[in-house]
């Protein structure tokens, strides 16, 4: 619903006054890269608004709430389930509030914690922490290209780092619409900023607060301190981490866009001085199960990461993730967000030209990639030829001796073998695993005549589960062209991407798969937003309703209602916090 009315004209005029005309985008072409999800989801929008300061964001919220429109807050739009884009039809006009201009990371408590503004990316955060010998919750290889810090908190994102668990904090500054329909600014950041909203936000953005204004907030967590012990409970009948875990839903954490965030406060972590990578291949899934249980139950030091890749996924990623791999190796990660933004603008322009095929940029990039020399080290290809299952195990110096001893005692075996990577092989192995995450999307873009779409599942299996290999009935498997299995093996979290043949009802196919996952005790999604693909479970629905009782922010998320809920009381609103 985005038809033009006097009320929407008045709102657009007000938004242009607040942020400037060039930062209010209207029309299908101008808004395309904000109204279409990275992998799925799209819908009409009245406007995309890009505030340039926290005060501007507050004024945008005020104008939109007063105009009774839907607000969808969007940071990097790198989510895989369409959770920060519109999807389908709504009962009110939709405004996308893009926070890309609101970058900023503030180091506090000697860099042991950070305050991240709405548009801050993991790259920005990593760069700030690097000179201090520290790093954030997630690093490259466990996140989407250009992913925002706040997006990870909102979505309970997990990542590849075994010892840290999902992104989590109980310290945030955010706006919500309460039961009476009034916009409220809530300061649970643990930093004294005053009482008046605009003055508070201006002070925060300028960093105009003293160490004495910062509450240590020891009673509130800024990361999941329990996870390292939690993941070791290998006989527990529940998954280690998943999106609807009620113990990890707290205000901003797991909010999925049901509030408008201005800042989050997070712990940082000492960067491991040196790590070592072992590359394990086997044709026995049970061999990897035994390894996982031994590591989690008996090793004194948890590995940094344990990433899984099936041989079929290895092959698809080797071809369709090749240009991503090379771009990161040659250009580094810092330039990639700008390159992806340029790619999106190019596709939006090309979409309006006659006789130009869809996804032209992907086709060109794939054509170039196919003509470049092989990019993977020889030993990775040797292991690919020999073994179906691949595990990359990254350990610190603290855990090196026990890992070497265990692997030497169990490999080579009748089914598998291991090698200790050189630094070059280690980098290549993990980057190849990272490139797998976008390989299915590229395949779909360059093979539109044979591919209907991708069914992407993100599942967490019980910690006591030992049979993690999926077996699909023939009727479900028949229309699937390729199955891509990869994930965070020690956490029992798997990404399962199915490239589906043309003419298949992908929604029906996914719905046929879900009961099979239920029988296995799986929770889904594991670490992505429910978006518009998954049905939110009761704990999530309750969390969303408590945060956004009038259903102003991101309605319809997780197949919840899209309809406005009327305020309980009308009258004067106090923006107090």
98-102, 349-353, 464-468, 469-473: which has the minimum mean pLDDT?
349-353
35-44, 56-65, 114-123: which has the minimum mean pLDDT?
35-44
pLDDT of 517 reads 96
Contact between 67 and 7 under an 8 Å Cβ cutoff? The reply is yes
pLDDT of 143 reads 41
Structure tokens at 271: 């960067």
Q: How far apart are CA 106 and CA 206, in angstroms?
A: 10
Which tens digits make up the pLDDT trace of 550-568? 999 999 999 999 999 988 8
Residue 576 in this model has a pLDDT that exceeds 60: no
Q: How far apart are CA 393 and CA 395, in angstroms?
A: 6
Residue 39 in this model has a pLDDT that exceeds 70: no
Which tens digits make up the pLDDT trace of 316-359? 999 999 999 998 888 876 677 677 778 877 877 777 777 778 78
Cross-strand pairs, 257: none
Angle at 512 between CA 507 and CA 514, to 5 degrees: 95
Q: Which CATH architecture best describes the domain 107-270?
A: 2-Layer Sandwich (3.30)
pLDDT of 575 reads 65
Burial of 211 (0-12, 13-18, 19+ CB in 10 A): exposed
Contact between 331 and 504 under an 8 Å Cβ cutoff? The reply is no
Residue 3 in this model has a pLDDT that exceeds 70: no
CA 101 to chain CA centroid, Å, is 19
User: What region does 97 belong to: left with phi over 0, alpha with psi -120 to 50, or beta?
Assistant: beta
- Neighbouring CB atoms inside 10 A of 451's CB total 19
Q: What are phi and psi of 73, to 5 degrees?
A: -85, 135
Strand pairing class (94-98; 47-49): parallel
Which tens digits make up the pLDDT trace of 158-179? 777 898 888 999 999 999 999 9
Q: Average pLDDT for residues 525-534, to the nearest whole number?
A: 86
pLDDT of 570 reads 58
Q: What are phi and psi of 108, to 5 degrees?
A: -130, 160
Q: What is the largest CA-CA distance in the chain?
A: 75
117-126, 350-359, 450-459: which has the minimum mean pLDDT?
350-359
| H or E element, residue 361 | helix 360-370
**What would the 3-class secondary structure string for 389-453 be?**
EEEEEEEEHHHHHHHHHHHHHHCCCCCEEEEECCHHHHHHHHHHHHHHHHHHHHHHHHCCCCEEE
Contact between 81 and 39 under an 8 Å Cβ cutoff? The reply is yes
pLDDT more than 70, % of the chain: 95
Residue 273 in this model has a pLDDT that exceeds 90: no
- pLDDT level of residue 277 (50, 70, 90 thresholds): very high
CATH of the structural domain 275-448, one choice from 3.30.70.100, 3.60.110.10, 3.40.50.300, 3.30.70.610: 3.30.70.610
Tell me if residue 554 falls in helix, strand or coil: coil
DSSP secondary structure of 342-366: HHHHHHHHHHTSTTPPTTHHHHHHH
More confident residue, 15 or 531: 15
pLDDT of 478 reads 97
Contact between 240 and 53 under an 8 Å Cβ cutoff? The reply is no
The residues spanned by each domain of the chain are 6-101+534-559, 107-270, 275-448
pLDDT of 533 reads 82
Contact between 68 and 79 under an 8 Å Cβ cutoff? The reply is no
Q: Average pLDDT for residues 521-532, to the nearest whole number?
A: 89
Please state which CATH number belongs to domain 6-101+534-559: 3.30.43.10
Mean pLDDT of the chain: 92
- pLDDT level of residue 141 (50, 70, 90 thresholds): very low
Q: How far apart are CA 501 and CA 490, in angstroms?
A: 32
Q: Sign of the C-alpha dihedral, residues 542, 544, 548, 549?
A: negative
Which tens digits make up the pLDDT trace of 347-399? 777 777 777 787 889 999 999 999 999 999 999 999 999 999 999 999 999 99
287-291, 326-330, 495-499: which has the minimum mean pLDDT?
326-330
37-46, 119-128, 204-213, 437-446: which has the minimum mean pLDDT?
37-46
């Amino acid at each position: 619903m985005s038809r033009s009315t006097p009320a929407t004209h008045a709102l657009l005029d007000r938004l242009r006054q607040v942020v400037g005309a060039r930062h209010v985008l209207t029309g299908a072409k101008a808004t395309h890269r904000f109204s279409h999800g990275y992998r799925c989801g799209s819908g009409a929008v009245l406007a995309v608004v890009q505030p340039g300061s926290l005060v501007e964001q507050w004024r945008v919220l005020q104008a939109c709430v007063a105009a009774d429109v839907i607000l969808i807050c969007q940071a990097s739009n790198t989510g895989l389930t369409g959770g920060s884009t519109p999807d389908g039809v709504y009962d009110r006009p939709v405004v996308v509030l893009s926070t890309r201009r609101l970058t900023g990371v503030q180091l506090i408590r000697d860099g042991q914690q950070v305050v991240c503004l709405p548009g801050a990316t993991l790259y920005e955060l990593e760069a700030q922490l690097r000179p201090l010998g520290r790093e954030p919750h997630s690093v490259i290889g466990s996140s989407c290209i250009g992913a925002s810090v706040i997006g990870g908190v909102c979505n309970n994102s997990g990542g590849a780092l075994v010892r840290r668990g999902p992104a989590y904090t109980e310290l945030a500054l955010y706006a919500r619409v309460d039961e009476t329909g009034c916009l409220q600014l809530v300061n649970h950041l643990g930093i004294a900023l005053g009482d008046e909203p605009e003055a508070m936000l201006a002070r925060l953005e300028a960093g105009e607060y003293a160490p004495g204004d910062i509450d240590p907030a020891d009673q509130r967590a800024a990361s999941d301190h329990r996870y390292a012990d939690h993941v070791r409970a290998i006989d527990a009948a529940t998954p280690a981490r998943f999106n609807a875990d009620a113990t990890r839903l707290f205000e901003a954490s797991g909010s999925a866009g049901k509030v408008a965030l201005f800042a989050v406060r997070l712990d940082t972590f000492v960067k491991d001085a040196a790590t070592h990578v072992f590359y394990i291949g086997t044709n026995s899934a049970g061999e990897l199960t035994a390894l996982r249980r031994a590591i989690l139950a008996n090793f004194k030091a948890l590995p940094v990461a344990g990433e899984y890749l099936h041989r079929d996924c290895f092959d698809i990623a080797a071809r369709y993730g090749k240009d991503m791999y090379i771009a990161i190796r040659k250009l580094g990660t810092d330039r990639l967000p700008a390159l992806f933004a340029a790619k999106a603008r190019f596709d939006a322009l090309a979409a309006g030209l006659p006789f130009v095929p869809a996804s032209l940029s992907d086709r060109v990039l794939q054509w170039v990639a196919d003509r470049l020399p092989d990019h993977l080290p020889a030993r990775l290809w040797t292991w690919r030829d020999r073994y179906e299952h691949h595990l990359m195990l990254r350990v610190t110096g603290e855990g090196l001796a026990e890992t070497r001893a265990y692997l030497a005692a169990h490999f080579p075996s009748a089914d598998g073998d291991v090698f200790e990577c050189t630094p070059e092989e280690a980098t290549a192995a993990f980057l190849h695993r990272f490139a797998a995450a976008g390989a299915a999307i590229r395949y779909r873009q360059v093979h539109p005549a044979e591919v209907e779409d991708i069914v992407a599942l993100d599942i967490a299996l019980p910690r006591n589960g030992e049979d993690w290999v999926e077996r699909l009935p023939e009727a479900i498997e028949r229309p699937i062209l390729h199955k891509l299995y990869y994930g965070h093996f020690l956490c029992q979290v798997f990404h399962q991407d199915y490239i589906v043949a043309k003419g298949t009802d992908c929604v029906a196919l996914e719905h046929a798969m879900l009961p099979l996952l239920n029988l296995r005790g799986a929770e889904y999604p594991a670490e992505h937003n429910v978006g518009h693909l998954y049905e939110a479970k009761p704990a999530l629905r309750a969390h969303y309703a408590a945060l956004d009782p009038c259903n102003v922010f991101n309605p319809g998320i997780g197949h919840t209602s899209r309809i406005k809920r009327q305020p309980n009381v009308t009258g004067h609103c106090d923006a107090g916090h």
